[in-house]
Amino acid sequence: MHAAVRRLLGALGCALALGAQMSAQASAQAPRAEVIHWWTSGGESAAVREVAQAYRGAGGVWVDTAIAGGDQSRAVTVNRIIGGNPPTAAQFNTSKQFVDIIDEDLLGTVDEVARRDRWDQLLPAPIVGVIKVRGHWYAAPINIHMQTWLWYSKPAFARAGIAREPQSMDELFADLDKLKAAGIIPLAYGGQGWQDSLTFSMVLANLGGRALYLSVIRDRDQAAIRSPAFRRVLLAFKRLQSYVDPASPGRNWNDATALVIRGRAGVQIMGDWAKGEFTAAGQTPGRDYGCMTGLTPDSPYLIQGDVFVFPKTEDAATLRAQRLLAETVARSDVQLAFNRLKGSLPARLDADVSSLDPCARKGMAILRDPQRPLGVSEVYLTPDQNGALQDVLTAYWNTNMPVERAQKSIASALRY
Amino acid sequence: MNHFTGPRRIATPAPDLASDGAAGAPAISDLAPAVSGPVPAPARARCKRLTPARAGVYAFLIAAALFFLLPLYVMIAASFKPMDEIRQGGIFALPHAVTLEPWRQAWSGVCTGAACEGLRSGFWNSVAIAVPSTVLTILLGAVNGYALSFWRPRYANVLFGILMAGAFVPVQVMIYPLVRVLALAGIFGSLPAIVVVHMVFGMPVMTLLFRNYYCNVPQELFQAARIDGGGFWRIFLHVMLPMSLPIIVVAAIMQVTGVWNDYILGLTFAGREHLPMTAQLNNVVTTTTGTRAYNVDMAATILTALVPLTLYFVSGRWFVRGIAAGAVKG
Amino acid sequence: MPFARLRFLPRFFPRIPPRISPQMALLPMALVAIVGYLGAALWTLRISLTSSRTFPSGHFIGLAQYQRLFDNERWLLSLHNLAVYGLLFVAATLVLGCLLAVFIDQQVMGEGLLRTIFLYPYAMSFIATGVVWQWLLTPGDGIEAALRALGWNVHFDWIVSQDMAIHCVVIATVWQAAGLVMALVLAGLRGVDPEIWKAARLDGIPAWRVYLQIVLPMLWPSFATVLLLLATAVAKLFDAVVAMTQGGPGIASEVPAKFIMDHLFLRSNVGLASAGAVVLLLPVLALLAPYAYARSYAQRHREAA
């Protein structure tokens, strides 16, 4: 009896101590994360709400600071870091946008989460190259967009008598000619700088191939830029301009997608965010529209994505909140929920995408093939170099610049 | 400092001019000649004859009004259409299926990030920013203009010149230094920070307005006040300020419009709790890769513009009357 | 003595010598001018001599940023556009504003309504009105389509033309600013001595000549202020270009403020942006400095006389 009572008292004491500790922890602050991002449109807002809900479910408090416009949002982030009032986390692209912030030692790392989840094997190589700097992981990726899909209107193709998808650049030009003959706008286009860059990337990847793309964009090899192969790419890029309608300059990308949706235009070269427009108009892939990842079976799959970075802090509570956010974002189910609404792919290669639409499934299969994914230009170039390249491309597209001069200008733009 | 802008100007400022034309520059066609004599002086005509000249005046004004109203029509029409109609094109077409949904969405439903509260949440923030910014900037502008035009301390004109030159610089260039200075002062990301920033950027134009206004006030008035024993602040508070009501209204209108429609400074300096309505408007209208709902965009823009517009409707008379009192002369 | 009561007002502060009060009162202005504007200008000048990217750095590289700036086709085009835009915008706004003011001054019916119609664009922010103007001016849509539907076979594709895109920005910004100019000029007109009109009538001068040769020249101080306000708006032109053409087609409607802004944040090149800002400020200083000197010289002359 004595021993039993003593044991009971011991257990009671333990339970009390445990309870006290638990209540102490509960009364400690729940991790509070203020997140700056630029997901402000309808579908994007719904997507980021999934992440917020998951974070709350994991015990955190999500404070949302949405600022429309990528560069506006990043500018506010940088200014707040400088001003001493940084957010807990901020959205950036998988790019060199935050390389300077890392150099100034203003970003914290997420090494524990990365090592635990083995991000080295779980993420595509171009993404790893951007978020792992000097052995440390500085960002938590959440999604992957592919920039150079070809979207086409099935009714328009039928009217123009195009039986199957083009399998090379020459076939693409032939199909565009058929569309023009049928009185349909061959290429739905929005004449803005970044769209010119995007179209050029598609031509460089599909016509120039993987090797040329890497030597120009990643290595900035002057000889490659001045080569005849690159010249051919530029000429093909300019040739596409003859297939756009006169009202294309300045048009927003979604207005160009609307042309394809209505069947007034045949093809659009745009990233997978265009899928949201088709879905919002009630169209289904395979019946109303088609999606192609490239013209050849081994064309490079150009990826970009969104990541969360974590401004450096000494505060323990903030560090806990950042860690929790990194863990939440890296979860497979959270990534699926986010990407289903956003139209992109999960960053984790092991995510189960069977519940996503056919175009997304197609993309994921290619993503898993280590030979196909390459980064978009901003993965390899600094914002300044990328911008200078875009300036040349947009001038070349819009004026009568001779191709040799374009080659020279690109060479000097990428020299610095 | 010009005292006279024309022959024989009367020494009291702000002549009582009603701004709707009842008494003002009389129409040329019915000025009664001052001479009496064999020619009978015609009575001031009650109704103005429709001469070809007057018809031309009306034609021009109506044509101009149509030009000015065109975008507003497009905006209002678009804000009552569902998105399908907008995608079909035809911006001048009246809506087939009139819907109030964009307006409801813009005010309280549209999602700007993870929060779906529409523009409503930013409204009181904008008010909280606009009121102190306007009051303080006008006060400072009035004091500056008063000191510059009557007292003229040494080097004051140099400072004024620096301000005027600074008015030409795009706002973004000054953001980084201001961020550092405010961070040093410890107020970055708060309501005082955004008020200070608006004061800094509003000071050149406000000072210009008041300085020109006070330059038109005759020197004799000021000297009489000084002889009667007034010091700097007394003359300002008891003589000049009461006389400046028209120009204060003008300055308020310009400053409120500028502050209300600003979003870059609000985003950077106001901190998360005080984001103005225009930041929300920007979130609604500007997206990079998301879908755009143009009808909600238009509704949101009109909603955001309602405050300055109401101010214009209400104080339109005052606006013209204020400048009539000599703000822009000299 | 009209202000005798001033002496008997309660005194809250000890008597400060009149010399110091204005200088103390101008302290905020001095602070803003020196720390704010002058300080920012000097800081910008310093940064333009460095190789700063996202963050300001201390690495001096001399005039290399200026070299790169004037090697940059986009910057040179933006300067050219600013000159073209500036002349057209100021001229059109002045003329339209004056015409509107003069015509409204004729005691027309519905003056209050008309004045509001002309003024309301000033209240609307350009983020969305810019999109509306883009819709209106797009070929195939908007005005061109409407006129074609009425039967006129017109081609109006300025907004997609390399040479004429900036003119479309002129149209939209004149729409926004003409009302303000109208209000300022109208108020000036309302301040004109009625004796002038009587005298002119006596002399039998027709109305348009009265306006052109007597009244409007009397308003030249108003015009000076209006010109100053319009000039600052020209230098800071940014919202309209971004909303309507995004600097396009290509780089055809690029303007300096947009170039600077793009390089400040989007391109993470603070050094180049600062160099652009300094270059933008130079003509302003070049114009203001002699003007200020001439004014102070005339003032001293007048006081000496």
- pLDDT digit string, tens, across residues A151-188: 999 999 999 999 999 999 999 999 999 999 999 999 99
Q: Read off the tokens for B88.
A: 């079909």
* Residue C11 main-chain phi, psi, to 5 deg: -100, 120
Token pair recorded at residue A88? 């807990």
> What's residue C113's pLDDT?
84
Is the previous residue joined to C194 through a cis bond, with omega within 30 degrees of 0? Answer: no
Residue ranges of C 123-162 with Cβ closer than 8 A to chain A: 134, 138-141, 157, 159-160, 162
Residue B183 has pLDDT above 70, yes or no: yes
Mean pLDDT of A134-150: 93
CB nearest B283 (choices: A40, A43, A261): A40
What is the Cα B38 distance to its own chain's centre? 52
pLDDT of residue A15: 55
Q: CB of A397 within 8 Å of any CB in chain C?
A: yes
> What is the interface pTM, i.e. ipTM, of the complex?
0.80
Q: How many independent structural domains does chain A possess?
A: 2
Contacts of A249 in chain C (CB under 8 A): 159-160, 245, 248-250
Interface of B with C in 6-65 (CB under 8 A): 6-9, 15, 17, 19-21, 24-29, 31, 33-35, 48, 53-54, 57-58, 60-61, 64-65
pLDDT recorded at residue C116: 82
Residue C93 pLDDT > 90: yes
The model's pLDDT over C239-265, given as tens digits with 9 standing for 90+, comes to 888 888 877 787 888 999 889 888 888
In this predicted structure, the answer to whether residue A255 has a pLDDT above a threshold of 90 is no
Mean pLDDT of chain C: 82
Identify the pLDDT of residue B17.
Answer: 34
pLDDT, mean of residues A322-348: 91
Last residue of a domain, one of A318, A336, A360: A360
State percent of chain B over pLDDT 70.
75
**CATH code, B122-324:** 1.10.3720.10
Sorting pLDDT into bands at 50, 70 and 90, what band is A230? very high
Q: What percent of chain B has pLDDT over 90?
A: 14
- Helix count and strand count (H, E) for chain B: 14, 0
Q: Cβ contacts (< 8 Å) between B316 and chain C: which residues?
A: 112, 115-116, 119
Confidence of residue A106 (pLDDT cuts 50, 70, 90): very high
Query: Mapping DSSP to helix (H, G, I), strand (E, B) and coil, where does residue B59 land?
Result: helix
Nearest to A94 by CA among A116, A123, A118, A117: A123
Q: Is A62 on the interface with B (CB under 8 A)?
A: yes
From chain C, the residues in CB contact with A394 under 8 A are 248, 250-251
- From the CA of C286, how many Å to the nearest CA of chain B? 10
Whether C72 contacts C64, CB under 8 Å: no
Query: Residue A22: inside a domain, yes or no?
Result: no
Q: Report the gap between the CA of C99 and the closest CA in chain A (Å).
A: 33
Query: Mean pLDDT throughout B250-255?
Result: 81
CB contact under 8 A, B114 and A262: no
Q: Going by C-beta distance under 8 Å and a sequence separation of 6 or more, which residues neighbour residue C251?
A: A391, A394, A395, A398, C73, C74, C77
At A107 the pLDDT is 93
Question: Is C171 within 8 Å of B71 (Cβ atoms)?
Answer: no
Q: How far apart are CA A234 and CA A405, in angstroms?
A: 11
Q: Is the pLDDT of residue C13 over 60?
A: no
Please tell me the predicted confidence (pLDDT) of residue C18: 62
Helix (H) or strand (E) holding A266: strand A265-270
Under an 8 A CB cutoff, do C54 and A78 touch?
yes
CB-nearest to B283 from A43, A67, A84 is A67
Is 60 exceeded by the pLDDT of residue B7? Answer: no
At B218 the pLDDT is 76
**pLDDT at position C2, please?**
57
Q: Which tokens go with B86?
A: 């907008």
pLDDT score of C191 more than 80: no
Q: Which amino acid is at C133?
A: W
Rounded Cα gap, residues A330 and A140, in angstroms: 7
Q: Nearest CA of chain B to the CA of A10: how many Å?
A: 49
Q: Do A75 and B287 touch (CB under 8 A)?
A: no
Q: Cα separation of B217 and B224, whole Å?
A: 12
State the average pLDDT for chain A: 88
> Average pLDDT of A282-294?
91
The CA distance from B199 to C29, in Å, is 10
C-alpha torsion A167→A170→A174→A177, nearest 10: 130
Q: pLDDT-derived band of residue B49, with 50, 70 and 90 as boundaries?
A: low
Kindly state whether residues A83 and A210 are assigned to the same domain: no
- Quick check: C161 and C246 in contact, CB under 8 A? no
For C26-44, b where at least 16 C-beta lie within 10 A, e where not — what string?
A: bebbbebbeebbbbbbebb
Q: Do C222 and C188 form a contact (C-beta atoms < 8 A)?
A: yes
Residue C157: pLDDT above 90? no
Q: Which of A405, A413, A408 is nearest to A387 (CA)?
A: A413
CB contact A155 to C (< 8 Å): no
Which amino acid does the sequence have at C58? Answer: G
Residue B46 pLDDT level (bands cut at 50, 70, 90): very low
Query: Which residue among C25, C277, C292 sits closest to B143, beta carbon to beta carbon?
Result: C25
Residues in a beta bridge with A107: A311
Q: Tokens standing for A391?
A: 């300036």
Euclidean distance between CA atoms C152 and B298, whole angstroms: 30
List A37's β-bridge partners, or say none: A66
pLDDT reported for residue B38: 44
Q: Is residue A151 part of a domain?
A: no
First to last CA, chain A: 85
Superfamily of domain C61-280: MetI-like (1.10.3720.10)
Strand-pairing partners, residue C285, are none
Higher pLDDT, B43 or B237: B237
C-alpha dihedral, A221 to A222 to A225 to A226, nearest 10°: -150
Rg (CA), chain B: 25
In percent, the amount of chain C with pLDDT more than 90 equals 12
Which residues constitute the domain of residue A277? 168-302+374-413
pLDDT above 60 for B40: no
Checking if the pLDDT of B31 tops 70, the result is no
Residue with the bigger pLDDT between B13 and B311: it is: B311
Report how far apart, in Å, the C-alpha atoms of B187 and of each of A63, A143, B180 are: 21, 36, 11
- Tell me: pLDDT of B201 over 70: yes
Are B283 and A49 in contact (CB < 8 Å)?
A: no
Cβ–Cβ contact A222 with B under 8 A? no
Integer Cα distance of C272 and C53 in angstroms: 9
pLDDT value at position A254?
A: 84
Reference A381, options A230, A137, A270, A216; nearest CA is A216
- What is the rounded distance in angstroms from the CA atom of residue B224 to the CA atom of residue C2? 8
Q: Which residues of B touch A43 (CB under 8 A)?
A: 290-291
- Output the average pLDDT for chain B: 75
Higher pLDDT: B107 or B46? It is B107
Contact C188/B at CB under 8 A: yes
Does residue A75 form part of some domain? Answer: yes
A145-159, A332-346, B305-319: least confidently modelled range: B305-319
* Mean pLDDT to the nearest integer, B274-288: 77
- Quick one: which of C15, C103, C162 has its CA closest to A401? C162
Contacts of B198 (CB under 8 A, 6+ apart): B129, B133, B137, B258, B259, B262, B265
- Backbone φ and ψ for A228, nearest 5 degrees, come out as -65, -30
Using CA atoms, how far apart are residues B14 and B243, in angstroms rounded to an integer?
Answer: 8
Q: Name the burial class of residue A349, with classes exposed (0-12), middle (13-18) and buried (19+) by CB atoms within 10 angstroms of its CB.
A: middle
Q: Inform me whether the C-beta atom of residue C280 falls under 8 Å from chain B C-beta atoms.
A: yes
Which residues in chain C have Cβ-Cβ distances shorter than 8 Å to B53?
A: 207
Between CA C293 and CA C295 the distance in angstroms is 5
Q: What residues in B contact C38, CB-CB < 8 Å?
A: 162, 166
Please name the chains neighbouring B, where neighbouring means 3+ C-beta pairs under 8 angstroms: A, C
pTM of model > 0.90: no
- At B253, is the pLDDT very low, low, confident or very high (cuts 50, 70, 90)? confident
Place of tokens 């409007």: C216
CATH number at residue A216: 3.40.190.10
* A315 lies in the same domain as A277: no
The encoded tokens of residue B260 equal 């209300």
Contact residues, chain B, for A70 at CB < 8 Å: 288
- Indicate if the pLDDT at residue A16 is higher than 70: no
pLDDT at A27 over 50: no
* Statement: residue B28 has pLDDT above 70: no
User: Does the residue A174 lie in any domain?
Assistant: yes
C111 pLDDT higher than 50: yes
Q: What does the pLDDT read at residue C10?
A: 64
Q: Higher pLDDT residue, A260 or C208?
A: A260
DSSP A348-410: -TT---TTS-HHHHHHHHHHHSTTSEEE-HHHHS-HHHHHHHHHHHHHHHHS---HHHHHHHH
Is 70 exceeded by the pLDDT of residue C123?
yes
Residues A409 and A274 in one domain: yes
The neighbouring-strand residues paired with A149 are A270
Q: How far is C162 from chain B (nearest CA, A)?
A: 24
DSSP secondary structure code for residue A215 in this structure: I
Residue A150 has pLDDT above 60, yes or no: yes
Question: Does the pLDDT of residue A326 top 90, yes or no?
Answer: yes
Domain presence at residue A408: yes
User: The tokens 């409120």 sit on which residue?
Assistant: B256
C-beta atoms of A42 and B267 within 8 A: no
Residues A352, B54: Cα–Cα separation, whole Å: 77
- A380 and A320 co-located in one domain: no
Contact status, residue A153 vs residue A402, Cβ threshold 8 Å: no
Q: Which residues pair with A156 in a beta bridge?
A: none
Provide the residue ranges of all domains of chain B, joining segments of one domain with +: 52-99, 122-324
Residue A406 identity (one-letter amino acid): A
Amino acid B288: pLDDT: 55
In angstroms, the Cα distances linking A393 to A230, B63, C250 are 13, 43, 9
User: Residue B77 above 80 pLDDT?
Assistant: yes
The answer to which of A377-391, B19-33, B159-173 has the lowest mean pLDDT is: B19-33
Task: Compute the distance between CA of residue B223 and CA of residue B225 in angstroms, rounded to an integer.
Answer: 5
Lowest mean pLDDT of A207-216, B15-24, B111-120, name the range. B15-24
Q: Chain A residues with CB inside 8 Å of C248's CB?
A: 191-193, 249-250, 394, 398
**pLDDT the model gives residue B79:** 87
Structure tokens of A345? Answer: 């792919």
With a cut of 50, say whether residue C129 has pLDDT above it: yes
B38-44 LR contacts (CB < 8 Å, sep 24+): none
Nearest to C136 among B74, B177, B308 (CB): B74
Domain boundaries, chain C: 61-280
Q: Are the CB atoms for C77 and A394 separated by under 8 Å?
A: no
Q: Are residues A268 and A334 in the same domain?
A: no
Option in A250, A382, A384 nearest C249 (CB): A250
> How far is CA C263 from each of CA A376, A416, C109, C304, rounded to the nearest angstrom?
21, 15, 51, 51
Q: Which residues of B touch A37 (CB under 8 A)?
A: 113
